Amino acid sequence: MSAGSSSSGNDTRNIFGKIWRGLKSYLTDWRNLLGHALVGVLFLALAIWVPIPGWIKLIVIACLIAFNVIRMRLKARKRVAQTVSVEESDEDS
């Protein structure tokens, strides 16, 4: 019984570790910080002249996060492809 609970604890720890690494990489990327800062300034500037409903703000922020995550995944995929192509060219030499 204790073996099953320890593996469950490891699974939980692995899941939280993946979440933490993902959040850390997202929050330390300067493009993500720049995007969120610009959206915040835009909302603040627009709030002076036009009130923006809360649900529109949430949709815009959710879209920004989704685009940033997609961009980061494509960048990582491109980096892996470049690494593989460099390794293949080294093997040919």
**pLDDT 10s digits, 2-37:** 455 566 778 888 888 888 888 888 888 888 888 888
* pTM above threshold 0.75: no
pLDDT at res. 57: 87
CA distances from 43 to 38, 39, 85, 88 (A): 9, 6, 43, 48
34, 39, 42, 43: CA torsion to nearest 10: -140
